[in-house]
Structure 1
Amino acid sequence: MAGYTGAPVGVVFMKPIFVPKIWGGRKLETEFGYKIPDGKIGECWAISAHPAGDCTITGGPFDGMRLSELWDQHRELFANCEGDQGRFPLLIKILDASDSLSVQVHPDDAYAGAHENGSLGKRECWYVVHADEGAQIIIGQHAKNAEEFRSMVEAGEWDRLLNKVPIHTGDFFEVLPGTIHALCAGTLVIETQQSSDVTYRVYDYDRVQPDGTKRQLHIDQSCDVVDYAQVPPKDGKVRAPEVDGVTELMDCPKFVVDRVRVEGKKSIEQKWPFMCVSVYAGEGAVTVCGTRYPLKKGSHFLALADAGTMEFEGELSAITSHLPE
């Protein structure tokens, strides 16, 4: 298909996708103002081209198109970025953990490709938008090898096996492939991750779903992929300096994640194939390619390669992500 030859697009906004979860709640409605379905809603897929949740573009010349279609048909808008295995590489979510998530682990690209029909692995991270007082997170484990891990799982020695740390609003956690982890009750986070949905459950608190069944566990796969050499973190404090309103939270081979604070006016040069932007506090606006877009808590947009300099105004905080150099 011929490349797009119209006026610069700059940004695209998308319709979020909401996912019911046994551990979900209603904070996506009460805290972010989304109109969500009834029941326990655990996830907002805000920027996604994954087959399990492919966001629809709203407004502009590509109104009604899926993000995957824009990626496939107009790669020039992404500076002809190759992506991971030709796919749009990132997935941005908000997670509302009213109850605790299952204790789980994700594989890397090599294991997922070999065992999950060519899927990508899952490297992710969490920025904590809110944590109830006294809330905890499970991040890391204490077994030295697969044999010890399996033995502790089968014996239900969760207090010995799992690494638990307090979690606070403003914390940040890297969740690399091979990391045992689980958000616990009372947490609300923005998740930046590879575009993958492969999860291996280790423990689900013996919960029963509405249909009376328990969710499947994946002990063999978990034993295979846990990183037994990993040193569990003690907290999620952000120690990186803030420079001109920007704090680099994570720089890894798959993505770079920053926290951006706008107080008044701020210019950000969009020099990447694309940039994901998620506003988690405050309100204001951004002007891109001569068009002004209002922003508020819960606004997400994808800045394309032709966005140039983005002019922000107002009082707001956002999480941004892009590919590494």
Structure 2
Amino acid sequence: MDAEDLELFSRSIRHAAEAAGGSSGFDAGAFDASLADLGWHDAVADFPRESISTLFSIQGETNATSSALHRVVAWALTGSPSAPGAILPRLGSWQPPAREAGDQVQVNGLANTALVEAGEVTVPVATAGGANRSATVTVGDLQLSPVKGLDAGAALVRATGSVPGTDAKSNEGDWANAVRIGRLAVGHELVGASRGVLAQAREHALERIQFGQPIARFQAVRHKLAEILIAIETADALLDAAWLDGTDVTASMAKAAAGRAGRLAARNGQQVLAGIGFTEEHGVHRWIRRILLLDEVLGSSRTLTKDLGSNLLASRQLPPLLPL
């Protein structure tokens, strides 16, 4: 995808995200339909880096919601761009959301309200022998319950159930690849959400007058905003390096860096916005809620950092130098 096509693609996705928003809330189903019309699902197979990084960066920046992550994980797991969207692990985990139990497949994971409107879903399964595979399961065979909590706008649904193995169509599955690609996608969304917080904090700093001048002139405020920008650009560079390197280790590092950048953006942005940032009147709380949720998807910044350190101590080998 050349630069001109990528710019047009990016503008089209941003327009679709803005069109799906409204006073009554974000319409994830409409955004999914727009992505299908734009050919985003086909682009993932042909231009994975460009299509994934572009969509998820915009999705984070605009606080949009879609089933795109589920579809990216399904594609990375099965190799098929037409595979039904995948059930994701529970928050904080990166283990397959289903396991074999005798002749049953027991499912306990997360879906999206737009995803479950489809007839089937892809379920990553941990087999009794320790390997992984994927299974296609009918949505009607699962129990679905809305996830109520920090970020209702994410439209998450808990999917549970025990499905007979004969009712689940078995396919090969590369779960490690699915986790790697999924972490990169979430990392880009975290970077986009962090940019959204930074933009709102900067705008407030320019408009808020104290002691006869905008607070943006105060060094303490500038330092808070600069810290956010440095963390964002660091995470963004690490995501680019992870795409080039293509290993699980660098994807974990990039996701951890993006999560830390997001939490820093939430903390510093809230400080700059001060009291108005705690109100429903100001919309920054939606980005902060989304950041805290995304950090937990496929492993949080804290758990991934600990896991990377444990593996480093166990292997006694440094990861390869990144192409920064």
TM-score, length-normalised on structure 1? 0.30
Instruction: Give 1 or 2: higher helix fraction.
Output: 2
TM-score, scaled to structure 2? 0.30
The structure that is strand-richer by fraction is 1
